[in-house]
Structure 1
């Protein structure tokens, strides 16, 4: 496949503006896109292979009737896609948190939910609240490997800052790299699905119960000097070009991160314009390399403070750029955010040597999702 020439559209095609100024831009979506954001879960379909592995806390796997399993919200799941090479699953996504479910003691139950990005591996297990520690988690990770015949992952991503100590300690004892990141999109969408199909149907479900480990949204801090660009602009790319840019990761070296658009169920017309932010600097290569280690998850325009916020990791937020507030610039920032919402939160960040270059040094495809309901 030939390398893609990165050529996003800007309304203002004159000289690029300074990094602290907003380039005039307007959005023209070809039609309101549909974004179903639906993951086809193996355990929720009729195409389950007979070799899929299931287990529950009180029934032997070999005796489970599949219909009974799917209908029982108290069941626990242990699944590995038989068509996937277990050795290829090197990164996991983990959530270890309380659920809006009371056990027989009247205490909130905890649950471990594990998957990989493609949902080829899926595992759930309930725990009482008095055994929540790194030893329990470490043993559970080892049990998953033994039960499903998969190797220990190289990396484990998680998105709750409150669980960082427990998860990091368990990972370190196993020689696994823990990564705090909100780019656990498969996991987050699966938790949304489980809330509707499992938790709300559980006999111990507590309606109106709020998550005890809510996601942080701290005040943004100053951007480190090594992450500064020189110029920036709001840009747009047709969805077809975004998909080509994603596929080009397979054929050329480029810093950044992509998303599995098919898995995430993002259903957008190819001509729809996807909003993005282009950053230009003469030191594009080192800047992209620094950014590559940040686990970037979103860019947002803060209308009230006339700035752009870069979110990374679990709860790191930077003031990425500022602009002079005026009715015009406010309208442009509002239009950019509206375009992002119209695309279901899909947007991108690109780093180039200059804003008119056909080459992209860094490209991050981002999806701004609300936090899970649990």
Structure 2
């Protein structure tokens, strides 16, 4: 897997000399493994005026970032649905594949830092617009997994937990498809319990391969009329992974959500052929920052 970038292009709570909001392009590298050095990840930022907000400006910024980093990313992720057409066009002009995604963990963390520590220090900072800034993701109704990757009625699932320190050895695990990030990025303490869902399937490898082609966001408990654990992907897709059919499994799902909050949103998804397997067809460390 080549380098993956995360990108945002949007107005900031800073007014220029004409009392117009400044816009900013942010590009950062996605961490893809548990042992990534977050301080070594590439970052690029560029302010522009509101009359420069177009795909050509974005293309030039991406070209500059590529020049500064010394390599072209394999793909770019973005979460800002309002900027969908412009971001896609700019990335296409720069010749880089682009995907809408809620897997922009590093970018969201960087934006959080800038909103707290950087923008308020800038000339023209507008506290009122800063307080009104929020990102709302659309959410489709969850649907079943495609038939091609489903197993049969023998397939099982389990909600489990690992301590944060267990992930120090993740790079030594036997995993087919994987993506992770360093827990230090979220300031997780070693003793923290990280909850997760493991799916045991006779079609473990096809299922993991299919999941690896999605932009995995996070797992969530849906407590509707038919409670379930769902996998959120892209910016609006939702897939049913586990049906909670009685009070006991619903209690497990509620425990999973509670543990996820206590772990600052960090959790995981694993796919194995059976509970006895010592390898994973797929394993992803995920973050729910909703």
> TM-score band (shorter)?
0.7 to 0.9
Q: What SS is found at the alignment partner of 2:114? A: helix
- 1:323 maps to what in 2? 244
Write the deviation string for residues 106-164 of structure 1: whole angstroms up to 9, x where unpaired.
22221111122345322221112222111110012223344x36233332221222223
* Counterpart contact for 1:220–1:309, Cα < 8 Å: no
* Counterpart contact for 2:163–2:193, Cα < 8 Å: yes
Q: 2:180 aligns with which of 258, 265, 277?
A: 258
1:323/1:89 Cα in 2 relative to 1: closer, same or farther (>3 Å)? closer
- Give the superposed CA RMSD: 2.4
- 2:59 maps to what in 1? 138
* Counterpart contact for 2:205–2:281, Cα < 8 Å: yes
Superposed counterparts of 1:159-174, under 5 Å: 159-174=79-94
State the Cα distance separating 1:274 from its structure 2 match.
1.9
Q: Which has the higher helix share?
A: 2
Q: What TM-score does the superposition give when structure 1 sets the normalisation length?
A: 0.67
1:207/1:130 Cα in 2 relative to 1: closer, same or farther (>3 Å)? same
In structure 2, how many angstroms separate the alpha carbons of the residues matched to 1:237 and 1:140?
Answer: 41
Q: What SS is found at the alignment partner of 2:218? A: strand
Q: 1:268 aligns with which of 164, 175, 189?
A: 189
In structure 1, how many angstroms separate the alpha carbons of the residues matched to 2:178 and 2:54?
Answer: 34
Write the deviation string for residues 9-35 of structure 1: whole angstroms up to 9, x where unpaired.
xxxxxxxxxxxxxxxxxxxxxxxxxxx
* Counterpart contact for 1:227–1:291, Cα < 8 Å: no
In structure 1, how many angstroms separate the alpha carbons of the residues matched to 2:271 and 2:158?
Answer: 11
1:248 aligns with 2:248: no
Could you list the runs of 5+ residues in structure 1 that have no partner in the other structure?
Answer: 1-87
In structure 2, how many angstroms separate the alpha carbons of the residues matched to 1:154 and 1:360?
Answer: 25
- 1:101 maps to what in 2? 14
1:179 aligns with 2:99: yes
State the Cα distance separating 1:320 from its structure 2 match.
2.8
Q: 2:3 aligns with which of 75, 90, 109?
A: 90
* Counterpart contact for 2:244–2:253, Cα < 8 Å: no
- 1:239 maps to what in 2? 164
1:369 aligns with 2:289: yes
Could you list the runs of 5+ residues in structure 2 that have no partner in the other structure?
Answer: 31-37
* Counterpart contact for 2:42–2:69, Cα < 8 Å: no
Structure number with bigger Rg: 1
- 2:257 maps to what in 1? 337
* Counterpart contact for 2:139–2:236, Cα < 8 Å: yes
- 1:34 maps to what in 2? none
Q: 1:283 aligns with which of 203, 215, 224?
A: 203
1:234/1:134 Cα in 2 relative to 1: closer, same or farther (>3 Å)? same
In structure 1, how many angstroms separate the alpha carbons of the residues matched to 2:287 and 2:220?
Answer: 11
State the Cα distance separating 1:265 from its structure 2 match.
4.5
1:294/1:205 Cα in 2 relative to 1: closer, same or farther (>3 Å)? same
State the Cα distance separating 1:314 from its structure 2 match.
2.4
Q: What SS is found at the alignment partner of 1:254? A: strand
State the Cα distance separating 1:89 from its structure 2 match.
8.2
Write the deviation string for residues 179-231 of structure 1: whole angstroms up to 9, x where unpaired.
3222221111111110111212333222242237x331313331232354532
Q: What SS is found at the alignment partner of 2:92? A: helix
Aligned length: 275
Which structure has more RCO (C-alpha within 8 Å, separation ≥ 6)? 1
Where has structure 1 moved over 4 Å in runs of 4 or more? none
In structure 2, how many angstroms separate the alpha carbons of the residues matched to 1:367 and 1:324?
Answer: 26
- 2:49 maps to what in 1? 128
State the Cα distance separating 1:351 from its structure 2 match.
0.6
